[in-house]
Chain A
Amino acid sequence: MIEWVTLATMLILVLALVLTFVRLVVGPSLADRVVALELIALIAVGIMIVYAIQVERAAFLDVALVLALTAFMAAVGFARFLERGGSGHNE
C-alpha cells in the first residue's frame, strides 16, 4: 500500500511545485518571487522526505534538514537585501 501512497503524495507535491513555479515566473514584485522560492524550498524538503520513505533509506532526511536550513538563510538574506535598498520591482 505504501508504494502507491508515496507515488500519489509525490504527484500532489509536484503539482504544488508547478503551481508555485507559476507564481515565481509571474510574481509582479521581487518579494512575491522570494515568497514563491521559500515555498519551493519547503516543497523540496517534503519531496525529499517522501523519497526517503519510498526507498526506505533514512539518510535522505539529513539532506532535507540541511535544505530547510539553507532556505531560511536565503529568505533572510533576500529580505535584508530588499529592505536595504534593493530594487523591489524588476520590470
Chain B
Amino acid sequence: MSETLTAIIMLLGALLVLIGAIGAVRMPDLLLRMHATTKAGALGTGLIAVAAAIFFVDTGVTVRSLAIVAFVILTAPVAAHMIGRAGYFTGAPLWDKTLKDELRQRLDRHGHYLHSGLEDTDDTPRSDRDSQ
C-alpha cells in the first residue's frame, strides 16, 4: 500500500519536473521560461521528497523530507524573483508577441528606481500645501 503510494507520488513528481524542463527548452523568453521551471520544478522536487517520507516510515526521515519541501517551497520564489529582476534590468528581450509591459516606462533602469506614475500630479494633502 505505502509502496504503491510512494511509486505514484514519485512518478508524478518526476513528470512535473520533466514538464518544467520541456518548458525551459520550448518557451520563447526568459520570464516565460522561469514561469515553467520555477513552479513545476519546485512542486516536482517537493513531491519526490514527500514520496521519500512515505517510503521510509521513520520520524527522522520525515522531518528531513519536510525540511527539504519547506526549503524548496520557500526559496524557489525568492530566487526566481531575484533572477527575473536581474534579467529584466540587464535587458533580456521579451517575446515579440508580448502585449503589455507596464514596468518599462516606470522603471529607471540605471538608478533602480520604480516610478509610480503620479509624480507630476499634485496629490499632496491640502494642509501640506498651505504650510509650504
Which residues of A approach B to under 8 Å, CB–CB? 1-2, 5-6, 8-9, 12-13, 15-17, 19-20, 22-23, 29-32, 34-36, 38-39, 42-43, 45-46, 49-50, 52-53, 56, 58, 61-62, 64-65, 68-69, 72, 75-76, 78-80, 82-83, 86, 88-89
Contact = CB atoms under 8 A, between A and B. Distances in A.
B90 A19 contact: no
Contacts, number: 183
Contacts of B55: 2, 53
A9 B10 contact: yes
Nearest to A22: B25
Interface in B77-128: 78-79, 82-87, 89-92, 112
Given A5-B7, A52-B52, A82-B83, 18 more contacts: A1-B4, A2-B6, A2-B55, A6-B10, A13-B14, A31-B86, A42-B17, A42-B72, A49-B65, A49-B68, A50-B14, A53-B10, A53-B51, A53-B55, A65-B71, A68-B72, A83-B90, A88-B91
B25 A83 contact: no
A58 B61 contact: yes
A8 B90 contact: no
Given A5-B11, A12-B15, A49-B68, A39 B61 contact: no
A14 B42 CA distance: 17
B3 interface: yes
B72 to A, nearest CB: 6
Given A46-B45, A58-B56, A82-B86, A29 B17 contact: no
Contact of A61 (B20, B24, B44, B52): B52
Contact of A35 (B3, B33, B71, B75): B33
Given A45-B45, A65-B64, A76 B82 contact: yes
6 contacts: A38-B37, A42-B44, A43-B45, A46-B48, A50-B48, A76-B79
Contact of A79 (B17, B22, B71, B82): B82
